[in-house]
Structure 1
Amino acid sequence: MGSISGDATPLQLRTQDAADMLPLIRDDFAPELERLKRAYSLRNGESCPPASPSPSQILFGQEYDEINRTLVGVLALKWLYTKQYETFVGSQAKSVRLSHSSFEWIHGFFTKAITGPEDLYMLITSMVVNDLGKDSRLALDYQDRTGDDISSLNHDMILIKAVKAGLVPCLNRLRKEVSEDIIRGMELGSEFNFGQLAQAENAPACLSSLLAMRGQEKAFNFRFMEQLLDIAGAAGHVDWTCAKKLVQPIFDAYEAVYHAAMGIISGGLSLRGGYDLVLHRRAVFLRNRGMRQLDVESPDDRALARILCMGGVADLDTAELYEGVWSIMLSDSTRKALISSLNIDGSVDEPAIQPTYMPALMTQAVKIFEGNIEAQERALASALRYLERLMTATDRPEGTVSVIERNVLDILKEVVQSTEFKADPTVLERADIPRGVAAKRD
């Protein structure tokens, strides 16, 4: 086939060789891939990439992290359609490997949703544009066109504003109804992020945008599929041979998010009820691995459940590490402040805090000291003390706001990934607190 947009079909996705697919995507999405070359990237110190060339090496002769992540997501879509389970799970650790039954669930969901070439191209387009907001040039181009500075917004919000300003040309090739469905998914993503709910990073108020998806099942389902493929490609910059990050615990979390979201959309669950369904499923998951049963109706246990979700905790040893630090190493005042702040739903009278990138900060802080339990405890305790400062900071953006975002990406890069942190994790406790920006206004 000579063009992804011209005549791609689900059948051809099954038969098309990956070496032929990638150049077609490059040619169809040239401006978008140029933006992805500039997109910022967050690395975890991974090494030992595969011997085979990466997608960006094949297409451009050098490594571009976000291009590799995006295109591995596209390859994962192919592996799903061709039911290449062994390729899909590849180098996933055996202890967390995606199960056959979960792979079949995902396969069934995708094949039911994608009914023809237009659906397929819609999904591929959604995947390619998903992270364009990470290109700092996009916010600058928006400012050049409109005069408004949106650089302080999160990348999902930057993307939707840029799309509405006509800065993402690939959407113009789609039928109006199709592009509108993609934009609906983007609008949902600008306020509601599947991963942030899976990690209990956002607040119940952020789920209110799901109410706008009533009667828009296709747009919601395609957004969900795009998010699963985004995870599948998340480690594509270090291992492009498989869907390394879509492991069983993460799938379980996203399946919980899907059911929580559908419960809210259908009217069967309140915003708080949908949020707590995710926490409850994490509690059940860990109870089945030996942890005590958490009661998410209790503010103390609910706060701990959120922290366990933020840490991506999926085994008993790590759960015991987190609960030990929570119960023993934190002062009563720190723990009480976290219990209070982590139980705020978010309203104009009492805004909630969204600690963006805190899950990555916590997991990396612990991983740095892998193999040294005492050092891991100290690092996690410092991360939680920093979280308390983050959640209780008093500055707030102008206007009516129900959720305030504090993005700790720079703190992660400049403090946690520094040699000083390895020598003394308490340097994190003295780190700056990012200013708050509006994540949700009412």
Structure 2
Amino acid sequence: MARALLIVLDSVGIGGAPDAARYGDAGSDTVGHIAETCAAGRGDRDGLRSGPLRLPHLAALGLGLACEEATGRVPPGLAPETPPQALWGHAVETASGKDTPSGHWEIAGLPVREAWGHFPDTQPAFPAALTAALIERAGLPGILGDCHASGTAIIDRFGAEHVRTGQPICYTSADSVFQIAAHEEAFGLERLIETCRIARELCDPYRVGRVIARPFLGSEAEGFRRTSRRKDFAVAPPAETLLDVAEAAGRAVVSVGKIGDIFAHRATGREIKPAGNAACLEAALDAFSTLPAGGLVFLNLVDFDTEHGHRRDVPGYAAELEAFDARLPAIRAALRPGDLCIITADHGNDPTWTGTEHTREQVPVLAFGPEVAPGSIGRRETFADIGASVAAHLGLPPLGAGRAWW
């Protein structure tokens, strides 16, 4: 029986979606703009990388051709030198929004078209009743922030005041999210987690997709830095996903990275959550090496998004892409006859774009394995085609949405 490895390169979009103008993202193109910036000599950083974007293995799979289908152009350096070695194409999101849960749920066969709740880009951003209830129930002396902000910038801005007053830093963004940052030692990690549990309950009436605990360490003198002990409290998917169907069929499921958080730990099997893309990929390959027939490893690589996209860091993003590309031979070597690997993304986060938010983009779809015949799968009208194709490959019942390309 076949196995599957599903890899989501968080935020690695390949061009504005057909409805990108609704989100202010017409013309965004995460991969294309990174490649163009590097080709122009503006993607260098001493000790990190220099020169044009180099993704030879992804190009060989057909990434450049997927970009061309999505945008009409092949980004610099991504034209394949030989016929593509994978099934390649691109997919359009049908869910309303450009956030992580919507993208992943749709990949797993569950497009959610109802609008999420969002907090306005005003100050204060949160309803007074929500803030008052959080302060009372969590026993807080107050909150700081109460605005739209970048996670790193707001910690730099309020970190010292937070340590001095004990008030957690609460902020949001264009995503459906309520984020709480607090010092692991001065405030306490467990207290932060409990505060987020309370916030999760309070945010439910507002249809907020995620409450996120953002712990950090450091001091005013040394600077503050976020730690790897982030924890997401997401709304559970409102219907069955690929994971539910796999669990019901008795299949082995391994969730690596923040997949468990995204799916509210439902049907996510064995969860592994190392820190960093490299460690997550190694953990996924290790799990895949002993995965029984019919099993699924579902991996999210979040550093593209959190470490580089939101920070508008082109050299860092380029280096992260190149590091992943270098590991593709190991991924291909891990596949046995009958196995399938799909590489895709959940949204964009163009580091050359204005602001610090996700961008509404199309995503690449690259599918390969020892017995997968290469070719074009064209434009997929929903991310759900990805989950439908995984289900068909594994011999699972059809999902609620999506059409397999097999």
Higher helix share: 1
TM interval, shorter chain, is under 0.3
Q: TM-score, normalised by structure 1?
A: 0.25
TM-score, length-scaled by structure 2? 0.27
When you count strand as a share of all residues, which structure comes out higher? Answer: 2
